[in-house]
Amino acid sequence: MRYVVLDTETTGLDPDDGHKIIEIGCIEILNRSVTNNTFHKYINPNREIDIEASKIHGLTYNKLKDKPLFEEVYEEFSDYISDSPIIIHNAPFDIGFLKKEYLDLSKTVNFFDNEIIDSLKMARKISPGKKNTLDALCERYAIDNSDRTLHGALLDAKLLAYVYLKMTIGQNNFSNLTTENVSKNSDHVVEVDNFKIIEPTNEEKKLNLNYFDNN
């Protein structure tokens, strides 16, 4: 099973105010293993970047004005995503920006037919009342995020990939979910509200435990 973990960085908070995507990072999970097949692009937004946004990711327009426009990378991006389920932390933010970018190009957004898995929504179900930022989840699941001094789309997607694998490694992670919002679709699919979580097989659990023990 293939998943794509996606993150973006932007010029500001609201695409309806003219803000644009300036970085896209994607990581592939294949059969519950993080692969080296990645997608990463810096993008020229053709506008200045809000100071507060720049403080978060460290990017400025001067660093990006020689980078490709979104219209020059969208086909490669769409091909990379393909029909895979997409894992995003706080999915409405990134999806909102992507939809606006595609609409500005008058292009059909085929990958929005894909299953979208919002890891923030998952984390809130698994650990209600706890802080569920990416940094908090890395600390909770003992994932090294010491290189994350600033936000970066590819690094954040990679960290999220490992967070997702640990969040879904075993049935015990769903101990606080009630039968009202969890149902079994098959031997290895748990549905939580409107999203599905593919449970690992026993063999996959063993492989994942061995991986984390040795990395």
**Sole residue written with tokens 């609409």:** 103
- Outline where 11-133 has alpha helix (H): 51-57, 61-64, 74-81, 91-104, 119-126
Q: Exactly one of 19, 40, 151, 188 is catalytic; which is it?
A: 151
Q: Residue 127 burial (CB < 10 Å; 0-12/13-18/19+)?
A: middle
Q: What is the DSSP letter of 90?
A: T
For residue 116, the tally of other CB atoms under 10 A from its CB is: 18
Asked if 151 is an active-site residue, the reply is yes
CA max distance for the chain:
53
**Residues with active-site annotation:** 151
